[in-house]
Amino acid sequence: MSTLDELKKGWQTDPSTSLETPHYDQAALLAITRAKSARQVNRAIQYFWASLTLQIIVYGLLSHVLVRFWGATDIQWLCVLGVLLYLPFTVVLLRQFKRIARVSPDQREDNLSIQARIQQQYNSLKGFYRFKRSYEYGLIPLITALGVYLTFRLYVPGGIRQHLTGATTTYLLALLACGWAIVRENYGHFKQPLRDLEKLLDEFVGKAKNDSGR
């Protein structure tokens, strides 16, 4: 039984409940709902911070290679390409992070209800997750290929041309590792939180239907 249903049943069946008790129970209910919503959203926010940190590292590495091998035109263009590939993802990441944080259940500076905040968080999280999945289909293969090429170009004598089998194997293993990590990442930071937020929203809808049917 959901938390909302349990508290509601307590309101209806406890004959000793005074007139002030429902207000106390409702406050407790809202606190529980805020905590459950915040817990799910925090799982997604953990991804935002980790992803932003990773992207800063990538930008730093590409900038370092760009400066260190200044004059090598092919390397310079590949570094610029790497930055351009990640830049749209970083922009959308920061926008969605700001949007989700703005409608946190703990914020009370406007007239939005908790249900409205959770709905906005759900919509923002779902929208970013949809963008993430579609963007990564193109980003991960390209950025992995770029990383393998630069590694062999800079640190392996003969480059990819003389080590085609090794480069291909490295690329496929890296792609497989990235895919495995993304699947786990999507489930833990997006799929499961979205399901739990959806359950919270369903509880609000169920409670509204029960109240209207009295």
Per the structure, the count of domains in the chain is 1
- Is pLDDT at 173 greater than 80 in this prediction? yes
Annotate 72-141 with DSSP letters as a single string: -HHHHHHHHHHHHHHHHHHHHHHHHHHHHHHT-TT--SSS--HHHHHHHHHHHHHHHHHHHHHHHHHHHH
Answer yes or no: is 69 within a domain.
yes
Q: Assess if residue 190 is contained within a domain.
A: yes
Residue 1: what pLDDT?
44
Label residues 135-148 b or e (16+ Cβ within 10 Å = b): ebeebbeebbebbb
pLDDT of residue 114: 74
Q: Is residue 24 part of a domain?
A: yes
pLDDT, tens digit, 9 for 90 and up, residues 22-35:
444 556 656 666 67
Residue 14 lies in a domain: no
Residue 11 lies in a domain: no
Residue 15, domain member (yes or no)? no
Question: Quick one: pLDDT band at residue 176, thresholds 50, 70, 90?
Answer: very high
| C-alpha–C-alpha distance, residues 33 and 39, integer Å | 10
pLDDT the model gives residue 211: 56
Assess if residue 139 is contained within a domain.
yes
pLDDT of residue 13: 45
- Say which range, 52-56, 93-97, 107-111, 205-209, has the weakest mean pLDDT: 107-111
C-alpha span between 11 and 5 (Å, rounded): 10
Q: For 4-25, what is the mean pLDDT?
A: 45
Instruction: Compute the C-alpha angle 50/54/55, nearest 5°.
Output: 120
Q: What is the pLDDT averaged over residues 3-10?
A: 48
Domain extent, residue 121, equals 20-102+110-208
Does the reported pTM lie above 0.85?
Answer: no
Q: State the burial class of residue 89 (Cβ atoms within 10 Å of its Cβ: 0-12, 13-18, 19+).
A: middle
d(CA 30, CA 198): 16
Q: With respect to residue 3, please indicate whether it lies within any of the assigned structural domains.
A: no
Confidence at residue 44, expressed as pLDDT on a 0 to 100 scale: 75
